[in-house]
Amino acid sequence: MRHTQVYNPYLPSFEYVPDGEPHVFGERVYLYGSHDRFHGAQFCLNDYVCYSADVRDLKNWRYEGVIYRKEQDPRNQNIPADTPKPELASWDYTDPEEYGPEDWNGPGIHAMWAPDVVRGVDGRYYLYYCLDFLPEIAVAVCDTPAGQYEYLGLVKHPDGTPLGTREGDLIQFDPGVFLDEDGTVYLYSGNDANEGTPDIDRRASQVMRLRSDMLTIDGEGKRLIPGPRNCEGTGFEGHSFFEASSIRKIGERYYLVYSSELSHELCYAVSEKPDEGFRFGGTIVDIADFGLAGDTKEEVLNCYGNTHGGIEQINGKWYVFYHRQTNRTNYSRQACAEEIVFEPDGSIRQEPVTSCGLNGGALRGEGRYPAGICCRLRGKNGVAFSMPWVMKKDYPYLTQDGPDVEPTNETLERDWTEPYQYIANIADGSEIGYKYFEFAGAKKLGVTVRGQADGVVAVSVHRPGEDREIGRIIVRINEAEWHDREGCVEFPDGVWELRLKFEGTGSFDLRAVEFGA
């Protein structure tokens, strides 16, 4: 099936590919990222997969399959069966009672965290990654962008010592790799944190040069942009480096995209050199619209957690790729994207999160849409950090029916392929929003719901300087199965944000919205 529209998330609703790094190779854009497991108990439990799209058609993404398996790394091989699970990090909260064996990696198996890929001067493709809390960076190689990558080795010092293991080495984390026009390969890495974090003196943003073997660093690495402990007076205050280095050269400037100390935003720094002199540029996107909608959890639009991604020029336009949170955790994250705009001075303005993403404009206000493409999801008391012990059942959230699955179809049936995603726990005061729809004659709105609730859904449209309530849908339901409800709604023509707000008792789930004439 060929899709004529695309929305956020732009991959199938049962796919969880966070940390997305987009790269154009030839006539296709390839998305590389880590791979979460739905209802996973930790980050990045699945193997690396790749998706791609024709640069002239970002509405149809092709599943390229698994490109690299975690067991291919020698550090994950021949693990004794009685090896215990890794200890949880000090910042984590995972209740083992909530999860079965399928929600963890096997004993002793390390997860593959956020990767990056570069085409080397030899024409081959090199994938750089870290295994969860291990200190090194590993490299795999392939002759094609989305083929079967093979383990190559660990990034190392000239004496052969793996980078990250020598006394004085910084901890390696979230590698980003870049081939400059003169043939020099730069490797970016690191994470930073506040005082009190373990190994705090070994945490920082850093850059290194690689030799032509793509494994050996040339000389010593350099610290690059400031973190929370050393940003005072630098211009990075409040948005200093946390993790997720991603580098692009645009004109004569280098843009380093990173996840800031806030974690839920992607920021950028800019310099005329690839390895020094970076100045703070601004925020590109925030998954809760902090800074655009407001600065507190009572004002912003979505539950928040980490995000990670990069920017890429595709067919003459620039986009930022990032991820959002689902399932009341940080462990089931989904790929989203927005078009971005460079100002004449080279700065990038912050873009709001939207439902239409890569669509090239508003979605058509006709037909049926998954409820989960919302870009506004708030409870009566605003939003919260995306973890069960914070959100509890006090907020609406995105989730899916059924277990984690892998796609097997060559053409993605994005809309209603099971298991489908839906919005759960919609209670009194819950708000759901979609940016943007273009209406032309729609006069009805249907919702597909289940649960136990008695009330109304107020339907309104919004754009700058104009807010209208345009109808109401009665939701009186006591059903475990999905049922349709419909109301007469006079949609005004033009491009609008659509909002739904529930007023009533009980709670219900929402699977779809449907516009009718």
Distances (CA, A) of 134 to 75, 86, 109, 114, 330: 10, 11, 11, 13, 20
Confidence of residue 306 (pLDDT cuts 50, 70, 90): very high
Are residues 116 and 67 part of one domain? yes
- CA pair distance 51, 334, nearest whole angstrom: 13
Q: Is 150 a catalytic residue?
A: no
The answer to whether residues 266 and 125 belong to one domain is: yes
The structure tokens listed for 76 are 């994950």
Mean pLDDT of 108-134: 96
Q: Given the residues 21, 73, 136, 243, select the one marked as catalytic.
A: 243
CA distance 405 to 38: 8
312 is known as an active-site residue = no
Containing H/E element for 422?
strand 421-426
Range of the domain at 460: 367-516
The last residue of a domain, from among 330, 364, 398: 364
State pLDDT tens for residues 233-262.
Answer: 999 999 999 999 999 999 999 999 999 999
Residue 10 maps to a domain: no
pLDDT band per the 50, 70, 90 thresholds, residue 107: confident
- Secondary structure of residue 357 in the 3-state scheme: helix
Is residue 421 very low, low, confident or very high in pLDDT (cuts 50, 70, 90)? very high
User: Residue 152 to residues 73, 144, 237, 405: CA-CA distances in angstroms?
Assistant: 9, 15, 39, 29
**Residues 196 and 273 grouped into a single domain:** yes
324: exposed, middle or buried (Cβ count in 10 Å: 0-12, 13-18, 19+): buried
Q: Which of 19, 136, 275, 404 is catalytic?
A: 19
Phi, psi angles (nearest 5°) of residue 357 = 45, -110
* pLDDT > 60? residue 442: yes
Last residue of a domain, one of 336, 364, 392: 364
In which band, very low, low, confident or very high, does the pLDDT at 229 lie, cut at 50, 70 and 90?
very high
Same structural domain, 382 and 501? yes
Q: Is the pLDDT of residue 451 over 70?
A: yes
Instruction: Count how many domains the chain has.
Output: 2
pLDDT in tens, 271-283: 999 999 999 999 9
Q: Assess contact for 29 and 55: CB atoms under 8 A.
A: yes
Contact by Cβ (8 Å): 340, 322: no
Q: Tokens 């793509």 sit at which residue? A: 214
Q: Is residue 82 part of a domain?
A: yes
CATH code at position 187: 2.115.10.20
